Amino acid sequence: MTAILLISSALFCAGVYGLLSQRHAVGVLIAIELMINAANLLLVGFGWRTGGAFGQSFALFTMAIAVAEVVVGLALILLMYRSRGDVQVDQATELAQ
């Protein structure tokens, strides 16, 4: 169980670092996916430890939500690319006008 906790925390920290350091919108989406996968790994690990199937079912549910999040995020990135020509996160506030 300790190995699962260490790997999951390393994945989550890598996702946080990527989220804070990236200026490109696709890199931000990848970092968010890393953090979601770290949470899924923890859910499956705790489900395996307790012997129930609740962890796996919650991980499956969060995967479905993550797919919807990626679809909406990529649609916004395509919209930003079509209107601006690049996908820098700093310029995303200009789309609100």
Residues 37-74 pLDDT 10s: 999 999 999 988 888 888 899 999 999 999 999 999 99
Q: How far apart are CA 1 and CA 84, in angstroms?
A: 47
For residue 38, give the nearest of 5, 72, 64 by alpha carbon. 5
pLDDT at 90: 79
* pTM of the shown model: 0.85
Q: Could you give the CA distance from residue 67 to residue 70 in angstroms, rounded to a whole number?
A: 5
Q: Average pLDDT, stretch 24-30?
A: 92
Largest CA distance in the chain: 52
Q: What is the pLDDT of residue 95?
A: 62
- Which domains, ranges and CATH numbers included, belong to the chain? 2-96 (1.10.287.3510)
Average confidence score pLDDT of the chain: 89
What does the pLDDT read at residue 72? 94
